[in-house]
Amino acid sequence: MSTPEPGAPADAPNPAPKPASRSAPRPASRSAPRSAPRPAPTPAPDRRALISDAAIALVAAGGLRSLTHRAVDGAAGLPAGSTSYYFRTRAALVGACYRRLAELDLADFEEDARTPGPWDRDAAARALGALLHRWLTGGRERQLARFELSLEAARTPEAAPELLRAGLAVRARAAGLLGALGADRPDERAALLAAWTDGLLYDRLAGALAGTRPAPDPAELASTARLMIDAALAAP
C-alpha cells in the first residue's frame, strides 16, 4: 500500500505517475585539456636524522650542557617527548649523534675523493686538502660537535661502541686509498693519517691559536695534506 503525499486527503487516490521524460541527447562534449601532472610529494625527512642533526647543532653552539631531550625537541621543531621516544637515554642520543656525524663525514670523504685523473699522491693531497677546507669552513660546527661528543662518548661506556664504529669506518676508507698509493700496511698508515688530520682540525678550530689564524686556504691545506700523506707512506 502506497503512502499518500503530504497534504493530500487520506482517501484521495495517488496521482498517476508521470511518464519519464526523455531528455534531448547532449552534444558530445569536447575533452577537457589535461592538467599538468602534479609533482611527487617531497618525502618527509627521516625522524632520527632530523633529531640527530638538531642535537649536533645544539652541541656545536652550546656544548654538551645544552644537550637535553627537551632542547632537541625544540630545536628540531618536534612535539615534546619525540627525542626520548627514539633515544631513551642521553648515551643513546650521543651515540646517534656520532653515528650521524660519521655518515656525513663519510659522504664528504667520498665526494672529495672522486678525482677525474689517476689516483696518485698529488690527487690524494688535493682530495684531503679539499676535505680539510670543507670541514674548517662549511662543516666547522659539525667538527666542533664531533670533538665535544667524542669526549662524552669516551666517558660513557654505552656510547663508546658508536664512537669506535664511526672511527673504524673512516679509517677503513682511508686505508683503501692509501693502499691504492702503494702503502705496505695501509691500516697502520690510515691510523696515522687520521690522527694527524684530527690534530690539524682541532688545532685550527679549538687550539690556542685558532682565533688568530687566517681563513683556511685550499692551496695551503693541499700542501699540508701532501706532507701528511708522504709522511704516512714513509713511516716505518
- Domains of the chain, start order: 97-234 (1.10.357.10)
Q: What does the pLDDT average to over 207-219?
A: 93
At 9, the pLDDT band (50, 70, 90 cuts) reads very low
Distance CA 56, CA 97 (A): 6
Give yes or no for residue 6 having a pLDDT over 60: no
Q: Which residue has the cell 673512516?
A: 170
Q: What number is the average pLDDT over the span 44-70?
A: 92
Whether the Cβ atoms of residue 115 and residue 127 lie closer than 8 Å to each other: yes
Is the model more confident about 160 or about 76? 76
pTM above 0.85, yes or no: no
> What count of other Cβ atoms lies within 10 Å of the Cβ of residue 224?
18
Distance CA 214, CA 114 (A): 28
pLDDT at site 161:
87
Give per-residue pLDDT as tens, 162-199.
Answer: 888 888 988 999 999 999 999 999 999 999 999 999 99
Report percent pLDDT > 90 for the chain: 63
Per-residue pLDDT averaged across 91-95, rounded? 91
Amino acid 166: pLDDT: 86
Share of the chain above pLDDT 70, in %: 81
Higher pLDDT, 64 or 39: 64
DSSP 120: S
